[in-house]
Structure 1
Amino acid sequence: MKLLRYRIGGDVRPGLLDSAGAVRDLSAHVPDITGAVLDDAALARLAALDPQTLPLVPGTPDLAPCVGQPGKFLGIGLNYTDHAEEMGMALPEHPILFLKATSSITGANDDVILPRGSVASDWEVELGVVIGTAAKYVPETEALNHVAGYCVINDVSERDFQTKLTGQWTKGKSCDTFGPLGPWLVTRDEVPDPQALWLTCDVNGERRQTGSTRTMVFTVAQIIAHLSQLMTLHPGDVIATGTPPGVGMGIKPAPVYLKPGDVMRLEIEGLGVQTQTVRADS
């Protein structure tokens, strides 16, 4: 099942993608796609619906972030062996954790807006994990049972803000529009192995990132288990699990960063495609 949120005027409504790729309205069944409707029982009720009986949304609706009102937006850094190699950095002993402000979240195809003073904004295609049931002190063997589903995330990062403004990575990760989420949330039953997914990112039609979740340092299950020892993961919380090689910062002989007019296209096998145009803040 592919759950989504779409915009009609100033409203955001819940929906799902049917087998023909059309958007169906879920407003009669749930008020929104948030943590409140992501537990196994609620998802089973939605899965039992016949999509053909749901109202068809005409045209190509504008997509909002695929999950609404997440309490936490967590990021895992340096979590691909081949990405660590391109950056010349040692593999971490434990998952590197940073926060992205929830205010950075946007729809999958919304513009990415470079903040004032940005000279080093970068792309990062990442597997997103959305929590469905609360996780606290969860063992690795049970961790995936707490997942509602998966999505594509662009962990856009301003590298100078991240590394030169003194403090934690959060500064360079949390700018407005730096967290495109979607296009839809694919429920975990459709992703039998989150460690067997291909990821790609193109910038202006040129392939920049190609990777596989099999090269993760820490698996999705290990990440959830680790984080749940530190804090309760609540329904609707979002985790960006790291990026494969090919980020702009790692390009030799000199880094290449985003500029106004650039177009990013990100795809994860079975999870859909994002496309964002870059523009400068006014």
Structure 2
Amino acid sequence: MENQNNVTEFVFIGLWENKQIELIFLFLFLLCYLAVLMGNFIILFTITCSHLIQQPMYYFLCHLSFMDLCYTSTVIPRLIRDLAAARKNISYNNCMTQLFTGHLLAAVEIFILVSMAFDRYVAIVKPLHYMVVMNRHRCNLLIVTAWIVGFLHAIALLLVILHLPFCGPNQIDHYVCDVKPLLKLVCKDIRVVNILMIANSGIVVVVVFVLLVVSYILILYHLRTHSSAGQRKALSTCSSHIMVVVLFFVPCIYIYILPPGSENKDKEISVFYTVIAPMLNPLIYTLRNVEMKIAIRKTWSKTTHSEFK
């Protein structure tokens, strides 16, 4: 049966319908976006311009910061623009592009977090084999795999949405084009599609989160045999990673494991992984990491000296 689609654009309802509140949050989200840009740029610049780029953990962190920059740039600039606009409209094609790009980058970020957990597991559980297992070739392979898996996830979602009919309502109860708010506008029975969406996004996120939790339980178990100094250093890096994982995964699980018809706070909760987590990630990884703080001081003092010569 041919897909009947009469919708050429969508209109976001947004986070709030009160214009005064929207203007206040426009300023707050602008500050958040500037913090995301500045924090992640500092991490990218510091790692790429220092010896840290040779270490797998910081190599993955560099890619994570790049993903945070890209992912937030698909969401926050339009959110800021819509908070200032009288009408929050987006064309059908741009909506589909945002849907695909957002899920691609988020999925890549998820699997980079998995790669970071694998790196910590090998470093603590198999320290003698660390340099052999986590060589640059394998690190690159993990990054390429993250992009392939992310692309397959995003294209699968996009192809399902493109074949659904939108033939009337076009108001999206959200501030971004995402699967669940779009499914509410489809004019046909979507029970099977709901199951596919939950399987593609919700169950995958839950499984990955469980794997990450298990990996850190094993890491903590093996830390018993380390010296107190080694335990403190390992816990410092691991605790940072656990905080980032919780900030990103818990809101995702809440949103994508529930069916679209559920009455929940999807758009409010999604602010955690689209705005707050990418803003806090640089702080979490720098404030709790002595090696990173030393590298930042050295790199930026070297840059400042070279400018004034």
Q: Same fold (TM over 0.5)?
A: no
Q: Quick check: which one's helix share is greater? A: 2
Q: Quick check: which one's strand share is greater? A: 1
- Structure with larger Rg: 2
What is the TM-score with the length of structure 2 in the denominator?
Answer: 0.23
What is the TM-score with the length of structure 1 in the denominator?
Answer: 0.24
